Chains A and B, each alone.
Chain A
């Protein structure tokens, strides 16, 4: 319990609004540029990598609530983003660096978590669709004769994996370009300090 409280330093707390804004900005920018991924969890994964799972979970909840102001449909997906934040936070304990295999493994783990938590929500609450790009792939699988569960799960695996891979790569790149003076102020910051640079 004490260690959780230590996670909430002033710097970490002040990073939460930035993470939420990064989530929103990523989502908005992807829409603006018409790219076929979501990138609505960059901020969450980023802050979980840097400041630990609990800060990440708070950022995830806040993101869902703020997007819920504009579209309450997102409120149903709070468990998914919290799950992602906690997983990303616990993944940090294994050092990342620029290792391609580790990036692939962590995005795979994040994908599995996202699919396992969001597929039941999609099927039970919305009957299999949420009105974004994944739905058209789901419809394609359904039309080819699959059951609703397998259609939702396989379509979300495809889109989520592409999304999470790009998300993790972006997070690692951002962490790599931050200064060590800044990184050291966060719980997991020293893991990302590039020693050869100094």
Chain B
């Protein structure tokens, strides 16, 4: 059994934690707290032992975006006072402040969601949704999607290699590469569409549409402190709102 307290939480509690963090980032004014969410999520992920993947993913999705946001907001949109000049480039203070505000909120959103997906196995999440009343067909579709995507990526590489062996160029100028797209993409799609028919027959043979309550081999359960954790989260977000209303910032 897993010892870690965060990991053992029920998936919907983790989802609630994610949304509470995001909401608090929008309720609490200023950008410092929103950037701090990155650290808060980092600490939680650290206890689950996934810190490396988390940091890598957050940086991968944000770094290019932030560079471009600051360039566009600070340099290309010219309004307000000039903060300082770098050679012939003038940097605008208002634009930089707007960039900071934007990026802080995006950081909060992205790190909270990355944390959620790092500490929650998708299979557990889907099971918890199904227990909360989600249609079992819908739950199956989500699980199947997650299974099919890696399979499809593998098949892309196989088809690409076999078409290369038949003489299709994949590394040259743009027209040659565009021409290579069709002999790779079409076999991939047509073969995967054909598979759905077989899958439908297989599922029907196992009584997929029978509408009877299903039994489960793999199951998850709530832990004792789940309820406590949820109450704490609600109290936290209410406190944030009260704090903002009282000080009226």
Contacts and interface: CB of A to CB of B under 8 A. Distances in A.
B69 A127 contact: yes
A167 to B, nearest CB: 11
User: Interface size class for chain A?
Assistant: 35 or more
A164 B40 CA distance: 41
Contact of B71 (A10, A73, A139, A182): A139
B189 interface: yes
B224 to A, nearest CB: 29
What is the predominant secondary structure among interface residues of chain B facing chain A? helix
Contacts of B71: 139
A5 to B, nearest CB: 11
A18 B148 contact: yes
Contact of A127 (B99, B146, B184, B199): B99
Contacts of B156: 25, 28-29
Contacts of B189: 22, 25, 46, 174
Interface string A146-180: 00100000000000000000000010011001100
A35 B177 contact: yes
A182 to B, nearest CB: 7
Nearest to A23: B149
Interface stretch (B1-9, B30-38, B109-117, B237-245): B109-117
Contacts of A69: 117, 122
A3 to B, nearest CB: 18
Contacts of A182: 193-194, 197
B248 interface: no
Secondary structure call for the A interface: helix
A128 B65 contact: no
B62 to A, nearest CB: 8
Given A10-B209, A139-B76, A29 B203 contact: no
Interface in A107-137: 125-131, 135
Contacts of A174: 186, 189-190
A103 interface: no
B200 interface: yes
B107 to A, nearest CB: 10
Interface string A14-26: 1111101110111
Nearest to B198: A14
Given A14-B200, A33-B177, A148-B77, 17 more contacts: A11-B200, A13-B137, A16-B141, A21-B149, A21-B192, A24-B152, A25-B185, A34-B174, A36-B174, A46-B189, A68-B113, A125-B106, A126-B106, A127-B73, A135-B68, A139-B71, A174-B186
Interface of A: 8, 10-11, 13-18, 20-22, 24-26, 28-30, 32-36, 46, 58, 62, 66, 68-73, 75, 125-131, 135, 138-139, 142-143, 148, 170, 173-174, 177-178, 182, 185
Please give me the 6 A-B residue pairs with the lowest Cβ-Cβ distance, nearest first. Answer: A72-B113, A131-B65, A17-B145, A142-B76, A21-B152, A71-B61
